[in-house]
Structure 1
């Protein structure tokens, strides 16, 4: 079984994330969405809220793609998480060249820790390249409409957080 890991904080999940999940699912039999517990980032949504949003979105994607998509919170090293879930592929989404520079360093470190796990980069679709969770939260916080960047349930969750 080919298992892939797509890690992130997903605070919140956006259409860009969903695009990467959908496209990554054609490469694997099971796709694990690793939800990072990153206390340093100070997420808007709690871990439980992020896991619930991802689980809801991934249920639909799993039905559409026929691929087993599971949500897995983690707080250890990414490479250790990949080993824990049996992943041989780490999927990373790229929006711009600046993303690549950081990701390139991460790949080098991860390969030094475990050279049996490959990293695959997927470029975001052009219409999703500007979407960043950080910007979505900022727009929502200031009362802007983020409905074109997130699904209706996530949009409602953002409105509830900032009301």
Structure 2
């Protein structure tokens, strides 16, 4: 039986916290679907296409090393519906702290009611990546700060380019 998980987020941008979650997932799973949620009411820094490209560049070598099949997709509906379409049996979530846990437990409860066939699995962040959020990374980068300690090298370059071009 193939162990397949669905890891949903905005990934705007991908951070070292996301890297930790994906690295652990690739060691545990046969297949991982990284799913970029899109919403017409939100204006992300990076387009969905740019995020797909960055995610593939960062995560494909990692997945290949662990012999985990990787798919990077976008979706604009309920996570549980998208996960089912992609034949995942696990909803994967990363946790930084207790605030994340409280919020994620609520979502897991709702998802469990809508899709009892999907199991939510939480992966805790290491102390080194707990303070990192995509929002803070965007703020620091927008002010010309060095974000290289918080994101993969490729993403740091893309952030510098994005803000140098005025978005």
Relative to the length of structure 2, the TM-score reads: 0.94
Q: Matches of 1:26 and 1:155 in 2, distance apart?
A: 25
Q: How does 1:100-115 map to 2 (within 5 A)?
A: 100-115=101-116
SS in structure 1 opposite 2:41? helix
Q: Distance in 1 between matches of 2:11 and 2:40?
A: 13
Contact preservation (8 Å) 1:51, 1:71:
yes
Match of 2:40 in 1: 39
- Aligned residue in 2 for 1:155: 156
For residues 105-142 of structure 1, what are the alpha-carbon distances to aligned partners after superposition, in whole Å with 9 as ceiling and x for unaligned? 11111111110100000111110001100000000001
Write the distance in 2 (CA, Å) between the matches of 1:151 and 1:79.
Answer: 29
Q: For residues 38 and 97 of structure 1, what CA distance do their matches in structure 2 show?
A: 27
Aligned counterparts, 1:9-88, within 5 A: 9-88=10-89
Instruction: State the distance in 1 between where 2:62 and 2:41 align.
Output: 30
Length-normalised TM-score, structure 1: 0.97
1:117 equivalent in structure 2? 118
Structure 1 unaligned segments of length 5 or more: list them.
none
For residue 156 of structure 2, give the secondary structure of its aligned residue in structure 1. helix
Structure 1 stretches of at least 4 aligned residues deviating more than 4 Å after TM superposition: none
Structure 2 distance, partners of 1:7, 1:114, is 15
8 Å contact kept, 1:9–1:38: no
1:34–1:72 CA contact under 8 A, matched in 2: yes
* Counterpart-to-counterpart distance in 2, 1:26 and 1:41: 33
RMSD: 1.0
